[in-house]
Amino acid sequence: MNPHFWLFCTVIDNFGDVGVAWRLAQALVRKFDATVHLWLDDFSALQKIAPDAAQSVVQLHAWQEGQEIDISQLEIPQLVIETFACTLPENVVTLMAKHRILWLNWEYLSAEDWAVRTHAMPSLQRNGASKYFWQMGFLPETGGLLREEDLMTRANHYSQHHAENTDLTLFLFGYQSPVWAKWLRIWQQFQRPLTLHLADNKIINSLKAQQFLPEHALIESDVYHSGCLKLCRLPFVPQQQFDELLWQADILMIRGEDSFVRAQYAGKPFMWHIYPQQEQAHLEKLAAFWRLPFHLAQNNPVFTEIKTFQAAFLALSDELNGAQILDEKTCAQNWQTLFDGLPIWRLLAQNWRDYLWQQSDAMTRLATFLAEKTK
Residues with active-site annotation: 17, 257
Per DSSP, the chain holds a count of helices (H) and strands (E) of 14, 13
Residue 124, classed as helix, strand or coil, is strand
Rule CB under 6 A: is residue 253 a binding residue for ligand TRH? no
Ramachandran class of 218: left when φ > 0, alpha when ψ lies in -120 to 50, beta otherwise: left
**Contact call for residue 201 and ligand TRH (CB under 6 A):** no
Q: Which is nearer to ligand TRH, 94 or 240 (CB)?
A: 240
Smallest gap from Cβ 245 to ligand TRH, in A, equals 6
CB of 100 to ligand TRH, least distance (A): 31
Q: How far is CA 15 from the centre of its chain?
A: 10
CB 18 within 8 A of CB 46: yes
The Cα–Cα gap between 186 and 325 comes to 14
When the beta carbons of 195 and 239 are compared against ligand TRH, the nearer one is: 239
Q: Is 17 an interacting residue with respect to ligand TRH (CB under 6 A)?
A: yes
Site string for ligand TRH, 215-244 (x = CB under 6 A): ---------------------xxxx--x--
Q: Tell whether residue 313 is a contact of ligand TRH (CB under 6 A).
A: no
Least Å from the CB of residue 256 to ligand TRH: 2
For 280, residues 6+ apart whose C-beta sits below 8 A from its C-beta are 322, 323
List Cα–Cα distances, 349 to 267, 289, 343, in angstroms.
5, 13, 10
Query: Taking the CA atoms of the chain, what radius of gyration do you get in angstroms?
Result: 22
Least Å distance, CB 263 to ligand TRH, is: 9
Q: Does 56 bind ligand TRH (CB under 6 A)?
A: no
Distant-in-sequence contacts of 212-219, Cβ < 8 A, 24+ apart: 212/180, 212/181, 212/184, 212/185
Q: Does 114 bind ligand TRH (CB under 6 A)?
A: no
Residue 303, classed as helix, strand or coil, is helix
- Full strand arrangement of the beta sheet holding 35-40: 59-62, 35-40, 4-9, 79-83, 102-106, 130-134, 122-124
Q: Does 103 bind ligand TRH (CB under 6 A)?
A: no
Distance CA 344, CA 89 (A): 50
Q: Please report whether residue 19 would count as binding ligand TRH according to CB under 6 A.
A: yes
Instruction: Give me the 266-305 binding string for ligand TRH, x by CB under 6 A, dash otherwise.
Output: ---------x------------------------------
Q: How many Å apart are CA 238 and CA 314, to the nearest integer?
A: 32
CB of 374 to ligand TRH, least distance (A): 30
Task: State the minimum distance, in angstroms, from the CB of residue 372 to ligand TRH.
Answer: 29
> Applying CB under 6 A, which part among 14-22, 125-133, 157-165, 334-342 lies near ligand TRH?
14-22
Q: How far is the CB of 97 from ligand TRH (least distance, A)?
A: 29
Is residue 10 within the footprint of ligand TRH (CB under 6 A)? Answer: no
Q: Which is nearer to ligand TRH, 25 or 101 (CB)?
A: 25
From first CA to last CA, the distance across the chain in angstroms is 17
Local structure of 236: helix, strand or coil: coil
Q: Judged by CB under 6 A, how many residues of this single chain contact ligand TRH? A: 23
Nearer to ligand TRH, 10 or 35 (CB): 10
- Does position 142 interact with ligand TRH (CB under 6 A)? The reply is no
- What does each C-alpha distance from 74 to 3, 4, 131, 158, 214 come to in angstroms? 12, 9, 22, 41, 54
Interaction of residue 13 with ligand TRH, rule CB under 6 A = yes
Identified binder of ligand TRH from the candidate list 39, 63, 134, 173, rule CB under 6 A? 173
**According to the binding rule CB under 6 A, does residue 106 interact with ligand TRH?**
no
Per CB under 6 A, residues contacting ligand TRH are 12-17, 19, 49, 173, 199-200, 236-239, 242, 255-260, 275
